[in-house]
Amino acid sequence: MKEWRKFLYVFAAFLACFYLPIENLRFTNAIFEALALVKWYAREHVLLCLVPAFFIAGAISVFVSQASVLKYFGAKANKFLAYSVASVSGTILAVCSCTVLPLFSGIYKRGAGLGPAISFLYSGPAINVLAVILTARILGWQLGLARAVGAVIFSIVIGLLMHLIFLKEERARHANGNFKLEEVKENRPLWQNIIYFFSMVAILVFANWGKPLEGDRGIWSAIYNYKWWITGFFMAVLLLALVNWFKKNELRDWVSASWAFALQILPLLFGGVLVAGFLLGRVGNEGIIPSRYVTALVGGNSLFANFFASIVAAFMYFATLTEVPILQGLIGSGMGKGPALALLLAGPALSLPSMLVIRGVIGAKKTAVYVCLVVVMATISGMVFGYLVK
């Protein structure tokens, strides 16, 4: 039976190669778009976004005691505190749906409850202060406000629903896993750990600080102009902390854990980015699916338009802040305001690459339910918003 299965795989691969439509211009252009998106992703997001995120995730797994994670995010933690902290994490971490994955994986594997971990996973890329401000300034205050309020509510509701749906499995996970709340003797004072973690988060935030609008002379513009000086300052703080407060074996464990996260996540991310680029292309460029079809399908405020916008947004990859110019073009082509909000609520928090990685952390069933909850809630929110702002 196994040999027959191997034969079928080989035969299917042969047929795919035999009938490869390389003479079709749209197909070859879609391949180019897939490779171009991967190149852009590697240049713009790996070094400044993912690498810092991997080191933060590695630090969580090595230096954050399991007792601390369980205290604030565990199954027996105070629910109000857990969901409050998790739901507003995006105001601190200006990250995309892929960059938040190592952080989510780190706290979940340390014993965080599924609900708070999912709230953190959604809020990380969705509640981005820079993105909300940019949305309000370019697309209007109504969309900006709806995005901010909707994202906070989403993160809490989706986290709670995931907790309730998989309550039995989560109880079994914590009962069978090595998640015991016990007193842990810390190797260094709390204030040193705070400086260590804060410096890494600051490097991640300021190194990726977005370019302000032309003519903007506010604080965002000032930070952007000096972002490398600020980033360099926090890198120096981190280096001093590592030299003075950490032992060699601790640093070795930290690097090893960070590398393990990179090996787990990077192959799935790049595979997903390839597929997303092939299907939908980059901003302003065509993939195998023509953009005019997408635009034609999300006009008005019908149930189908909102649902379709949510589905497309869930699978398409959005780097931080890129959803705003994408929507600006779509709205200019006739996209309704309801589907626009649906895209804003589903897009930044999900992507095909992130789904593949999430599946590797929590399993296919939980991932499918999480995706469905985001899509359904984004659809409903889009319809309500479209009705209110006619």
Whether 271 has a pLDDT exceeding 60, the answer reads yes
Confidence of residue 100 (pLDDT cuts 50, 70, 90): confident
What's the average model confidence in pLDDT over 279-301?
A: 76
Whether 182 has a pLDDT exceeding 60, the answer reads no
CB atoms within 10 A of CB 283: 15
Rounded to whole angstroms, how far apart are CA atoms 102 and 353?
A: 13
* Range of 13-22, 255-264, 369-378 with top mean pLDDT: 369-378
Confidence of residue 377 (pLDDT cuts 50, 70, 90): very high
- The pLDDT mean for the chain works out to 80
What's the average model confidence in pLDDT over 267-275?
A: 77
How much is the pLDDT for 178? Answer: 54
How much is the pLDDT for 181? Answer: 46
Q: Is residue 80 a contact partner of residue 156, using CB atoms and an 8 Å limit?
A: no
User: Phi/psi at 52 (nearest 5 deg)?
Assistant: -60, -40
pTM score over 0.85: no
Q: What would the pLDDT profile of 310-360 be if each residue is shown by its tens digit?
A: 998 888 776 656 677 677 667 766 778 899 899 888 887 788 888 888 888
Whether 253 has a pLDDT exceeding 50, the answer reads yes
3-state SS of the chain is: CHHHHHHHHHHHHHHHHHCCCCCCHHHHHHHHHHHHHHHHHHHHHHHHHHHHHHHHHHHHHHHCCHHHHHHHHCCCCCHHHHHHHHHCHHHCCCCCCCCCHHHHHHHHHCCCCHHHHHHHHHHHHHCCHHHHHHHHHHHCHHHHHHHHHHHHHHHHHHHHHHHHHCHHHHHHHHHHCCCCCCCCCCCCCHHHHHHHHHHHHHHHHHHCCCCCCCCCCCHHHHHHHCHHHHHHHHHHHHHHHHHHHCCHHHHHHHHHHHHHHHHHHHHHHHHHHHHHHHHHCCCCCCCCCCHHHHHHHCECCCHHHHHHHHHHHHHCCCCCCCHHHHHHHHHHCCECHHHHHHHHHHCCCCCHHHHHHHHHHHCHHHHHHHHHHHHHHHHHHHHHHHHHCC
Q: Is residue 52 a contact partner of residue 262, using CB atoms and an 8 Å limit?
A: no
Q: Which amino acid is at 129?
A: V
Whether 71 has a pLDDT exceeding 70, the answer reads no
